[in-house]
């Protein structure tokens, strides 16, 4: 039995149609269970629940101990980045197809009652932090829970860069880009690019090249404590961009240096007691299915 949650905040995905319905259901349950809860201000406005108590993200980060997000993995990713400086626990409710991070379906909201009471498991997931330097100046910094992606800018089709790990030169690569992924992100974009699945218990990062011109370029898994530096080669004719969880972008210039490291504070994900990481994999990757070719 873990510590029950005392003050709960609810954050909904912007502009998602079924938000109102799921939110109504959730609110009714929270009221039935006599929980103290608050709605994030914009969520309340959008969904038309202005009569209920609301708080800004800033206030939530100081007052609450659990945030329930409504919507897909994207919503939980955004909330995790926004609250990365706090110790708030996170859990996601997803009406559509279950995600890797959002594991409670609205029809299974009753399981939330047990979670609020302290019947849950929780785990820490680390985040990445990027810093972009132009000459001596740091121009930009951002957080990512899934991945940081270096890719070509507007017109370019490929980029050229140099990769250093802990100050060691690794390779100069021409490719469509590089995905630097946490274990959490290893089942997302990196997987499409041929990267391995990293169990969330691993303290490691995977660097997955996208369509590399050199066929021997392969995903490399390094310690999450590594310092990763990427130099945008002068050979690039055009800009590149740096993307965080597919949501936060920055435009890079030739000569920029990107420094990546583990963010000092992990987020905490809360799951129902029945949660099992491998069940999520099986379901998302359809591992329970018939093989593609029948027995000879």
**What count of Cα atoms within 13 Å lies in the side-chain half-sphere of residue 241?**
15
User: Restricting to residues 78-107, which ones interact with its own copies according to CB under 8 A?
Assistant: 94, 96-97, 99-100
Tell me whether residue 116 or residue 183 sits nearer to its own copies (CB atom): 183
CB of 260 to its own copies, least distance (A): 15
Residue 18 in the binding site for its own copies (CB under 8 A): no
The site for its own copies, by CB under 8 A, has a size of: 76
- 210 near its own copies, judged by CB under 8 A: yes
**Binding test (CB under 8 A) with its own copies, winner from 50, 223, 238, 274:** 223
Among positions 141-180, residues that touch its own copies (CB under 8 A) are 149, 151, 154-155, 157, 165, 168-171, 174-176
Return all residues near 67 (Cβ < 8 A) that are at least 6 apart.
8, 9, 10, 11, 60, 79, 83, 88, 89, 90, 91
Report the greatest alpha carbon distance in the chain. 65
Here's the x/- map for its own copies, 31-70, by CB under 8 A: it reads as ----------------------------------------
Could you give the 3-state DSSP secondary structure of residue 296?
Answer: coil
* Interface pick for its own copies out of 114, 199, 273, 274 (rule CB under 8 A): 199
Q: CB-wise, 79 or 217, nearer to its own copies? A: 217
Applying CB under 8 A, the span of 30-38, 53-61, 199-207, 264-272 interacting with its own copies comes to 199-207
Burial class (CB in 10 A: 0-12, 13-18, 19+), 118: exposed
Q: How far apart are the first and last CA of the chain?
A: 51
Q: What sign does the CA torsion over 55, 60, 65, 69 have? A: positive
Rounded to the nearest 5°, which phi and psi values hold at 234?
A: -65, -15
The span from the CA of 54 to the CA of 45, in Å, is 9
**Which residue among 254, 259, 277, 280 contacts its own copies (CB under 8 A)?**
277
Q: Does 284 bind its own copies (CB under 8 A)?
A: yes
91 DSSP β-pair partners: 68
CA distance 121 to 123: 7
- Among 40, 103, 245, 256, the residue binding its own copies under the rule CB under 8 A is 245
Residue of 57, 197, 254, 280 that binds its own copies (CB under 8 A): 197
Residue 216 corresponds to which tokens in the numbers above?
């021997």
> In terms of CB distance, is 112 or 205 closer to its own copies?
205
Nearer to its own copies, 110 or 285 (CB): 285
């Amino acid at each position: 039995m873990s510590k029950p949650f005392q003050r709960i905040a609810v954050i909904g995905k912007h502009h998602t149609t079924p938000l109102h319905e799921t939110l109504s259901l959730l609110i009714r349950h929270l009221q039935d269970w006599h929980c103290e809860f608050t709605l994030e201000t914009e969520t309340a406005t959008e969904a038309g629940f202005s009569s209920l108590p609301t708080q800004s993200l800033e206030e939530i980060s100081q007052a609450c101990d659990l945030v329930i997000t409504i919507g897909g993995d994207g919503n939980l990713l955004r909330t995790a980045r926004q609250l990365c400086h706090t110790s708030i626990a996170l859990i996601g409710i997803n009406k559509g197809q279950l995600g890797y991070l959002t594991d409670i379906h609205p029809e299974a909201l009753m399981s939330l009652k047990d979670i609020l009471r302290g019947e849950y498991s929780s785990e820490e997931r680390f985040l990445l932090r990027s810093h972009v330097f132009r000459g001596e100046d740091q121009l930009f910094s951002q957080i990512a829970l899934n991945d940081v992606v270096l890719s070509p800018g507007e017109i370019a089709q490929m980029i050229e860069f140099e990769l250093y790990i802990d100050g060691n030169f690794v390779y100069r690569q021409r490719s469509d880009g590089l995905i630097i992924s946490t274990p959490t992100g290893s089942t997302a974009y990196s997987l499409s690019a041929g990267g391995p699945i990293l169990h969330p218990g691993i303290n490691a990062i995977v660097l997955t090249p996208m369509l590399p011109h050199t066929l021997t370029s392969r995903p490399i898994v390094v310690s999450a404590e590594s310092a990763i530096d990427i130099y945008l080669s002068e050979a690039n004719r055009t800009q590149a961009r740096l993307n965080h969880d597919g949501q936060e972008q920055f435009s890079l210039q030739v000569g920029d240096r990107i420094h990546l490291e583990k963010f000092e504070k992990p987020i905490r994900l809360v799951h129902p007691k029945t949660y099992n990481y491998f069940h999520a994999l099986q379901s998302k990757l359809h591992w329970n299915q018939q093989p593609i070719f029948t027995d000879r």
